[in-house]
Structure 1
Amino acid sequence: MKRYLLSLLVGCAAIPYVALADTFVVSDIRINGLQRVSAGTVFNSIPVGAGDEVDDQTVVETTRALFKTGYFQDIRLSRDGNILVISVVERPAISSIDIDGNKAIETKKLLEGLKQAGLSQGEIFQKATLEAVRLELERQYVGQGRYGVKVNTDVEPLPRNRVALKINIKEGAVAKIKHINIVGNKVFPTDDLLELFELQPSGMFSFYSNDDKYSREKLSGDLERLRSYYFDRGYVNFNIASTQVSISPDKEKVYITVNVNEGNKFTIKDVKLAGDLVVPETEMKSLVGVKEGQTFSRKELTKTEEQILQRLGNEGYTFANVNTIPQPHDNNTVSITFFVDPGKRTYVRRVNFVGNTKTEDEVLRREMRQMEGAWASTDKIEQSRTRLERLGYFKQVNVETPAVPGTTDQIDVNYAVEEQPSGSVQATLGFSQGSGLILGGNISQSNFLGTGNKVNLGLNTSKVRTLYRFGFIDPYYTVDGVSRGFNVFYRTTDFEEADISNYSTDVWGGDVTFGYPISETERLSFGFGLDNTDVSTGSNTAQQIVDFIDKEGDSFLNYKFNLGWNESTLNRGILATDGYSQSIGLELALPGSDLKFYKLNYTGQIFTPITEKLTLHLKTNLGYGDSFGGTSELPFYENYYAGGFGSVRGFKNNTLGPRAVRKDNNDDDPIGGNILVEGTAEVIFPMPFIKDQRSVRSAVFLDAGNVFDSDCGDDEKNCSNADFGELRYSLGFGVTWITGLGPLTFSLAKGLNADSSDETEVFQFALGQSF
């Protein structure tokens, strides 16, 4: 500002003869000294032109207008006859910016910050701006706890009125916390209070957690947690009197002292509701979570506010307010009043979608429970968002409800989605240890061409299986959400290559299935199908299989009926982190089939957050099958198998449970059984060094399971009826990554109680298949 005034005075002093008495009419304007700034910019900035009269006031206004542009560091006005001469000295332009020494803050981010401050290549250089930026950089580093930071700047003049800026940063080390002390606490021990803090004095594992590096923002969060701890336990008058942060002379150690005043513990005397209760008062009172005689808790008050707001939001009062008014009394009691201001009922003008570059709007819109033109329901808006996430097409779904400009009772509901690869197999190339190299040309999409339809088409071949298939499911066959799907296939399987007994099957068939929604989270399904199975045995097939074929034959045409029920409250269709799902399925061979049998299956899983970053995942898979009518036993090719991915990791695929002895020697092969018991407990945690966790899952797990047989034959080994004492356990670590080629999954696991007949496998992986 001083420089501006000085230049203005110098500019005015340079034309002492242009005084009020020497007023003249400008015939032309001449500009001297321009290099980069165009003459048009000057003419557009000054308040005088040819034909205008110039006086003292005009000179002052012209000089002020030119300085205001920021392009000039000196301005002089003079007169040549009736020509107004404007002589300027331009500020230099920034030719380059070089930043050196920064590690904690990326150069790209620093350059972006400089650009926002007006320092970037090609911009006009102002020394005051550079100094302000230098001070701001130091402040940013100090905020990280780098008190020894030094930021030096150098301005190098260049030809043609340009400058090169050099910023040299010596970041220094982050000051480490040596000691944290809380003074004034009498009710709670200091050690208990310090456990609330994210910041901690240097310890054995501080190199990993970085909790000993001082940060102003982290300290603010710790102090807020401390306040909440007291407020949630009845200390209404608690306050933090002061906080001192001391730094050692070498600026590498930090000492933190927090002085507190605890006050007395308060209990609730009475609870009242006030304001405009648009919802029946009895219903509103049921939402109040605090009662007379309870210890005062700010957490419970906040929870009550949220519940009342949620209820009002469901009735369309989107902009409602609930204010809690505590009134302390001298006897350490407090009266609580919840004042309700519902505001106007709000209606939805439009529901909009952005980010669905592949998926059609119709696919998203049919999941909506919040309708346009209806009053806005918080519950329905959130329910619609959850339904979009459950589709499995999107990494993330966010929703905003901005008010419609110019109105007080309308909002728009805007859903922002981020597409992700959908479908369990999307590649023509895959590999798994159980099946080897998987080759094929196929389409397997859960969101085919963005229509929401599920399509499977193509050929897959491996050393175990060759499969031709075509499947199609329309999840909205009717507008009510009734689904219809059909599937046709031809499949050959060599079970010996899958570490099972020496036989192969040749199967063709198809089915039609319908699904009917019975609630927001539940569906019933039923279907009919048929399959024809031809069995071929090898030269050394298990005796049990030979005996079955001798009784029943080696070619079977079966008509099947399928009935199922499933429920899901999972928050996402792929890599869920919250909620549960369960399903029950019955497969029944109908009268007229060559074989009579049934299979009953149950699967269930639940995700429960443990902490902000850890999630507990529990899963179980149960199955039971048996024959009826004239069929002697469950067909061997319908048996259950266990071991490997999706089962008990750490054991080879399909190798657990009963083993059948080959007819020509004492060797044995897995034969499976009619009873399946499997369970998994996982702790899911963020994958280190991965920014986007939405497509990656890492977990430590404990698997348990086995296959049993209710009718063990004399030629079966390792066979027993359901016996939990025979369950196999494994412990390990696994990762799943959703890639453009399909899921990539691997695990490292150790079988904990394998016996001599079990086949273990520590490392297992697959590409192009979902488990």
Structure 2
Amino acid sequence: MLPLAVALASVQVHADTFIVNDIRLEGLGRLSAASVYALIPFSSGEAITDDQSSDIVRALFASGQFEDVQVLRDGNALIVRLVERPSIASITLEGNQSIGKEDLLKGLKSIGLGEGEVFKRAALDQVKLELQRQYASQGRYGATVNATAKPLPRNRVALSITIKEGDTARIKRISINGNQVFKDDALLKQLQLQSSHLLSFIYGDDKYSREKLSADLETLRSYYLDRGYLRFNVDSTQVSLSPEKNQVYIDINVSEGEPYKITDVRLAGEFPVPEADLRPLLLAQPGQVYSQKVVTLTNEIISRRLGREGYLLAEVQGVPELDDASKTAKLVFYVNPNRVMSVRRINFTGNLKTDDQVLRREMRQFEGAQASGEKIDLSKLRLQRLGYFSDVKSENVRVPGTTDQVDVNVAVTEQPSGSISASLGYSQNAGVVFGGNISQTNFLGTGNRVSLGLNRSDIRDSYNFSYVNPYFTPDGISRGYNLYLRQTKFDNLNISNYATDSFGGSVSFSYPIDETETISFSLGYDQTDVQLGTTPSKVVWDFEEANGSGLSSYIGTASWQRNTLNRGVFPTAGGSQTVGLEVGLPGSDVGFYKLTYFGQRYMPLRGRWVSRAYGRLGYGGGYGDSDVLPFYRNFFGGGFGSVRGYRDNAMGPRSSLVDKLTGLPVTGYDDEPIGGNVQIEGGLEVIFPTPFVDDNNKVRTLMFLDAGNIFDTEVVGVGGQTFKPDLGDLRYSVGIGLSWITPIGPLTFAIAKPLNEKDGDDTQVFQFSLGQGF
């Protein structure tokens, strides 16, 4: 752009006032005459002085469309000679890796450098400086940016930006100077940034960035404030580079001061609830060393207490009054409740698939009602437990023009809430095997759960369908249906033990007792036909002789569940317990019962590390004319959801170990798991942050110790041995696992090492599953 003074100098100066009869434009190419006339502050027929012609120059330059403007007079006509700026025909980026192309183009467009825009060389120079600044903030101090503009026909240019990012500078040393009370190692451990070490290539904590350093300085300040050092100060920081610009040296100079003790704690301000109700919430007490963490937590607790009464925007601030001579502090919590708030509207964003009604029915805060922080927090927790969202955030925004109304804005981030799996293979025994399963816990965004499965082979077909409406009634009573059919093609298989055909269905209802407890009931029918193989075991033979081959059962179930988990998928806190009873009701061909228990507890450790303990118990038996649990309803163990490192359903008694039909050789039997009527399983997991992954809401890695086995109190082994529960017969395994929420469902891997396997155990070191998490 030419300086304005140069442009004005090109104007022919005249002193007289004259009437403009005509305005002629010269030099236009891509711009229309009408658009230029619209910029000129005068029109034909108006009287102007020669000095006022400079206004035309200023107006046209201000549009940013022209490189040069000259205004000349020819009699009573004005001649405006123009040199247009070129337009940008294309922008080419090369060499950018750490900053995406789309992000770069968006940034360029925000400053007027986009395809079709007017080209401004000054803006291009600004881009070079800004990009170098951004790369420097990433620690890429050797980055270079070269920008060129190539002229094209029809007054256009092609922009080319070539970037050499260079390597990120690594932190060689971090020094903290001036600390006397706390050792360097204790302070450096608090920082995100670390000097290069063996695992830096995984954590990336030796890559310098200005933002991380600022955060670390705040962390350091908080560390001292939490220990009473109220006069702590970061005096200065110096960041220096090696001559090669690939190593960073950081020096942090601090003044520690001395710790302060609290001598008095009191409340001040306006109390909308009795002060006696607030005083027990004061965590800081006289005689304690001052802690900013305790003060902040007290602020939050009192604010939440006031929020329960509708003071949603209450402000609480703990302020220390220091006595430097005695190194003590009086702590005053100032309370400003503001007004009682009501909720005008609840707004949802981010639910692109899920209906608003699905979210709204989980809300315990209602529109038009008095606001309650407790109810808003509970609503957020209920949304997280659905398992449809990887993140749920809420914000209370005051309604403009009011003093007592807020809008509650709830932002959710949806995640896959179902799974799809398919298989196609061939087995020597089963022939061609085809399987497909679809499970969706948020079917078409309605919140209903639908599952459909189909598995077919030359020897066995299996079909199942289930549907659950969690809000069959507005108050949260759910209703569900389940149908299944499993059929064995007996003629196509030389079965040595037994096979079963079965079909049935059930209807179920669940009733919420309160926000965390639910009771459920179901009633179903099952028809199972037992077909003996060529060499059935004595257990199967005896059962078939006593009960026949066609067995009808009316099955009732009842369960109680308590759930305090903070999330529906990948929880990190809380627990759950489930007690269930399944019974073959009177009128059934076989009377049986199965009692089960499952419990788990998540306990935060440090940072993002979390532990989980779990246990699973089961016991079954017969009643009435049946004295044992039907063998086809046995418990099975092994694999995911049980003891990893052992094959699915392969634990416990096996057919080769159980007493066979008299007169038949043991070698004539297939060695296959038969399950048992007792299940004992438990374990401990340590969940840790997944390397290279910032969002652990979709990926989970853990180490585990599993223990358990399947037992039977009724069957007898070949040598007369029993399989009754014995803690000495528990199997143990350790390993590491990863689960990832993909668009087609959870994809789970585990590498496990059985610790005490015995002869005959069916182990499996590597296991994976699609559609089932940990």
Q: TM-score, normalised by structure 2?
A: 0.91
Change (3 A) 1:441 1:233: closer
CA distance in 1, matches of 2:734, 2:158: 60
Contact 1:398–1:415 at 8 Å: present in 2 too?
A: yes
Quick one: distance in 1 between partners of 2:236 and 2:331? 29
Identity %: 51
SS of the counterpart of 1:219? helix
Is 1:316 matched up with 2:310? yes
- Give yes or no for the alignment of 1:157 onto 2:151: yes
Unmatched runs of 5 consecutive residues or more in structure 2? none
Partner of 2:486: 491
For residues 251 and 372 of structure 1, the distance between their equivalents in structure 2, rounded to whole angstroms, comes to 58
**How many angstroms apart in 1 are the aligned matches of 2:497 and 2:713?**
23
Which residue of 2 is the match for residue 711 of structure 1? Answer: 714
Residues 701/465 of structure 1: CA separation in 2 closer, same or farther (3 Å cut)? farther
Q: Choose the corresponding residue for 2:376, options 353, 362, 381.
A: 381
Q: Secondary structure at the match of 1:669?
A: coil
Q: Counterparts of 1:555-570 in structure 2 under 5 Å?
A: 555-570=550-565
- Mapping of 1:567-646 within 5 angstroms? 567-646=562-641
Matching of residue 544 in structure 1 with residue 539 in structure 2? yes
Q: Using a 3 Å threshold, how does the CA distance of structure 1 residues 695 and 248 change in structure 2: closer, same or farther?
A: closer
Alpha-carbon distance, 1:692 to partner: 6.3
2:442 partner letter: N
Counterpart CA distance in 2 for 1:95 and 1:202 is: 45
Change (3 A) 1:222 1:658: same
Which of 442, 465, 477 aligns to 1:482? It is 477
Paired position in structure 2 for 1:275 = 269
Instruction: Give the aligned residue type for 2:583.
Output: L
- The match for 1:749 among 728, 749, 752 is 752
Q: Secondary structure at the match of 1:402?
A: strand
- Structure 2 residue matching 1:594: 3-state secondary structure: coil
**Aligned mate of 1:248, from 227, 242, 261:** 242
Deviates more, 1:388-397 or 1:79-88: 388-397
> Aligned partners of 1:15 and 1:522: how far apart in 2?
89
Please list the CA deviations of residues 371-402 of structure 1 after superposition, one character each: whole Å capped at 9, or x if unmatched.
Answer: 01012222222322222232233344333333
Q: 2:680 aligns with which of 663, 677, 682?
A: 677
Contact 1:706 1:727 in 2 (8 A): yes
- Retained in 1: the 8 A contact 2:496–2:533? no
**Counterpart residue number, 1:9:** 8
Q: 1:114 aligns with which of 96, 108, 119?
A: 108
Q: Does 1:301 align with 2:292?
A: no
Residue by residue over 1:69-119, the C-alpha shift from the partner in whole angstroms, topping out at 9 and shown as x without a partner, is 111122111112221221122223233333333333333322222222222
Answer whether contact 1:500 1:655 (CA < 8 A) is retained: no
Match of 2:498 in 1: 503
1:170-319 pair list within 5 angstroms: 170-319=164-313
Amino acid at match of 1:24: F
1:646-665 → structure 2 map (5 Å cutoff)? 646-659=641-654, 660-663=658-661, 664-665=664-665
Equivalent-residue separation in structure 1 for 2:415 and 2:488 (angstroms): 33
Q: Distance in 1 between matches of 2:229 and 2:425?
A: 61
Structure 2 contact 659–717 (Cα < 8 Å) conserved: no
**Cα shift at 1:353:** 2.9
SS of the equivalent of 2:737 reads strand
Q: Which residue identity does 1:242 align to in structure 2?
A: S
Number of aligned residue pairs: 764
Matches of 1:244 and 1:69 in 2, distance apart? 45
User: Secondary structure of the residue that 2:481 maps to in structure 1?
Assistant: strand
Q: 648-657 or 238-247, which moves further after superposition?
A: 648-657
What is the Cα deviation at residue 319 of structure 1? Answer: 2.2
Q: Secondary structure at the match of 1:45?
A: coil
Q: CA deviation at 1:277?
A: 1.3
After superposition, the C-alpha distances for 1:613-651 in whole angstroms (9 at most, x for unaligned) are 443333322111122333222222221111123212221
For 2:767, the equivalent position in structure 1 comes to: 764
Match of 1:472 among 467, 470, 475: 467
Task: Give yes or no for contact 1:30–1:85 (8 Å, CA) kept in 2.
Answer: yes
Contact 1:500 1:654 (C-alpha < 8 Å) held by counterparts: no
Q: What's the counterpart of residue 337 of structure 1?
A: 332
Offset at residue 442 of structure 1 (A): 7.1
Aligned equivalent of 2:666: 666
C-alpha distance in structure 2 between counterparts of 1:769 and 1:462, whole Å: 23
Structure 1 Cα separation of the partners of residues 416 and 185 of structure 2 = 48
Aligned letter for 2:521? Answer: F
When structure 1 is superposed on structure 2, of 127-136 and 717-726 the one drifting more is: 717-726
For 2:13, give the aligned amino acid.
P
- Once the two structures are TM-superposed, the CA of residue 752 in structure 1 deviates from its matched residue by 1.9
User: Please, which moves more after superposition, 677-686 or 579-588?
Assistant: 677-686
Report the AA paired with residue 703 of structure 1.
Answer: D
1:349 and 1:259 mapped to 2: Cα distance?
51
Cα pair distance change 1:372/1:225, threshold 3 Å: same
* 1:127 paired residue among 121, 127, 141: 121
Q: Give 1:603 deviation, angstroms.
A: 1.2
Aligned-partner Cα distance in 1 for 2:331–2:494:
69
Deviation by residue 1:536-570 (Cα, 9 ceiling, x = unmatched)? 21111222222233334333333333111012223
Deviation (angstroms), 1:595: 2.5
- Once residues 621 and 490 of structure 2 are traced to their aligned partners in structure 1, the CA distance between those partners, rounded to angstroms, is 21
Q: Is the 8 Å Cα contact of residues 267 and 334 (structure 1) preserved in structure 2?
A: yes
DSSP-derived class of the 2:359 partner? helix
For the 8 Å contact 2:682–2:706, the answer to whether it is kept is yes
Change (3 A) 1:293 1:482: same
Tell me how far apart the structure 1 counterparts of residues 53 and 645 of structure 2 sit (CA, whole Å): 88
Of the structure 1 ranges 315-324 and 739-748, higher mean CA displacement relative to structure 2 is found in 739-748
Which deviates further from its counterpart, 528-537 or 558-567?
A: 528-537
- 2-side partners of 1:46 and 1:499: how far apart? 97
Give the C-alpha shift of residue 465 in structure 1: 5.3
Question: Which stretch has the larger CA shift, 684-693 or 301-310?
Answer: 684-693
Shift in alpha-carbon separation, 1:347–1:42, aligned structure 2, 3 A = same
Unaligned residue ranges in structure 1 (runs of 5+) = none
**What secondary structure sits across from 2:205 in the alignment?**
coil
Superposed counterparts of 1:38-187, under 5 Å: 38-56=32-50, 58-187=52-181
TM norm structure 1: 0.91
SS in structure 2 at match of 1:315: coil
- What is the DSSP-based 3-state SS (H/G/I as helix, E as strand, rest coil) of the residue aligned with 1:701? strand
Give distance in 2, aligned partners of 1:539 and 1:420: 50
Q: How far 1:727 sits from its partner (Å)?
A: 1.3
Give, in whole Å, the separation in 2 of the partners of 1:95 and 1:376.
55
- The separation in 2 between residues aligned to 1:370 and 1:400, in whole angstroms, is 13
Mapped contact 2:609–2:687 kept (Cα < 8 A):
yes
